């Protein structure tokens, strides 16, 4: 593994019975790089994240992070390797406050923390994600956007060096999305490597150094955003001609209002 890689996946295959959710996917993420992972529903994006985070086993292939083989480690060891993720379907502890939810994550981080320090870290993270004023509320008492922010907060509490984000923009309004984009950029500036799974193209274009496209479990494109988003195979498989037409009309770096 090259020394400047935060993630290296080789030939990853994930099977669910007869369904091949991920088929021989290889990809890398440089240290400090933000890589977008896009593709149609059912393409295998979440399954690939699940295989990195050891929630589903690989039937073939390997995963290295920061030079270490994590293909067979237990999922709870992930934070010790500097890896944290969010879940597409948010999964907070329902009867704990937002602050407690984040503190629990901090307690299981790279360097596990005692309770008081974990609470301090939770406060710092909630400040950063804009949830301080809701810290004492339960997950069910806040909006979906806030629960997405909580999900990101829980991952950040683990002080990850590699962060895997699964659709954290879904359901956010423009202001909330801009705040999330700002946060991702800040994390990158601090040296965090990030994989962004997302259908919201505005966000992908705003934060990604590189884009990987999956379809039917396979990787069909991998390259700089401009070339990937203009690749006819990607347009046919996912983006659609409407996206390309709109792009040429706006002629701007910001992709206004396009979700898919």
Ligand X SMILES: Nc1ncnc2c1ncn2[C@@H]1O[C@H](COP(=O)(O)OP(=O)(O)OP(=O)(O)O)[C@@H](O)[C@H]1O
The entry of Mg ion, ligand X, none near residue 47 (CB within 5 to 8 angstroms by kind) is ligand X
Contact 20, 58 (CB under 8 A): no
Single out the segment in contact with Mg ion by CB under 5 A; choices: 25-33, 82-90, 98-106, 244-252.
82-90
Handedness of CA 225, 231, 233, 239 (dihedral sign): positive
The footprint of ligand X on this chain (CB under 6 A) covers a number of residues equal to: 12
CA distance 195 to 174: 21
Name 91's Cβ contacts closer than 8 Å, sequence gap at least 6: 151
The entry of Mg ion, ligand X, none near residue 19 (CB within 5 to 8 angstroms by kind) is ligand X
Residue number, 38 or 70, with CB nearest to Mg ion = 38
The entry of Mg ion, ligand X, none near residue 51 (CB within 5 to 8 angstroms by kind) is none
Q: Does 46 bind Mg ion (CB under 5 A)?
A: yes
CA distance 139 to 251: 40
Q: Does 41 bind ligand X (CB under 6 A)?
A: yes
The footprint of Mg ion on this chain (CB under 5 A) covers a number of residues equal to: 2
Contact 43, 36 (CB under 8 A): no
Q: Does 39 bind ligand X (CB under 6 A)?
A: yes
Q: Does 29 bind ligand X (CB under 6 A)?
A: no
The nearest distance, CB 98 to Mg ion, in angstroms, is 24
Name 127's Cβ contacts closer than 8 Å, sequence gap at least 6: none
Single out the segment in contact with ligand X by CB under 6 A; choices: 38-46, 77-85, 94-102, 252-260.
38-46
Single out the segment in contact with ligand X by CB under 6 A; choices: 16-24, 150-158, 232-240, 252-260.
16-24
Radius of gyration of the chain (CA): 18
DSSP sequence for 132-187? GGGTTS-GGGS-HHHHHHHHHHHHHTT--SEEEEESSSTT--HHHHHHHHHHHHHH
Single out the segment in contact with ligand X by CB under 6 A; choices: 39-47, 75-83, 119-127, 182-190.
39-47
The nearest distance, CB 87 to ligand X, in angstroms, is 11
Residues in contact with ligand X, shown as a per-residue x/- string from 84 to 103 under the rule CB under 6 A? ----x---------------
Contact 205, 57 (CB under 8 A): no
Q: Does 21 bind ligand X (CB under 6 A)?
A: yes
Q: Is 191 helix (H, G, I), strand (E, B) or coil?
A: coil
Interface residues toward ligand X, by CB under 6 A? 16, 19, 21, 39, 41-47, 88
């Amino acid at each position: 593994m090259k020394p400047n890689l935060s993630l290296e996946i080789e030939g990853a295959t994930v099977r669910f019975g007869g369904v091949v959710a991920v088929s021989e996917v290889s990809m890398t993420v440089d240290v400090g790089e933000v890589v977008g992972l896009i593709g149609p529903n059912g393409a295998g994006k979440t399954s690939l994240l699940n295989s990195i985070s050891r929630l589903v086993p690989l039937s073939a292939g390997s995963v290295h992070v920061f030079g270490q083989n994590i293909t067979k480690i237990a999922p709870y060891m992930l934070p010790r390797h500097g890896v944290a993720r969010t879940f597409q379907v948010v999964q907070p502890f329902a009867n704990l406050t937002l602050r407690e939810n984040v503190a629990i994550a901090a307690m299981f981080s790279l360097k596990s923390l005692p309770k008081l320090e974990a609470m301090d870290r939770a406060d710092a993270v909630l400040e950063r994600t804009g949830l301080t004023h809701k810290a004492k509320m339960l997950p069910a008492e806040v909006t979906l956007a806030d629960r997405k922010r909580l999900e990101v907060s829980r991952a950040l509490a683990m002080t990850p060096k590699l962060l895997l984000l699964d659709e954290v923009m879904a359901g956010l309004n423009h202001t909330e999305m801009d705040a999330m984009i700002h946060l991702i950029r800040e994390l990158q500036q601090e040296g965090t490597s990030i994989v962004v799974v997302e259908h919201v193209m505005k966000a992908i274009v705003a934060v990604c150094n590189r884009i990987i496209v999956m379809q039917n479990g396979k990787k069909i494109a991998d390259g700089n955003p401009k070339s990937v988003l203009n690749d006819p195979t990607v347009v046919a498989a996912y983006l659609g001609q409407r996206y390309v037409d709109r792009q040429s009309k706006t002629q701007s770096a910001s992709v206004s209002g396009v979700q898919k």
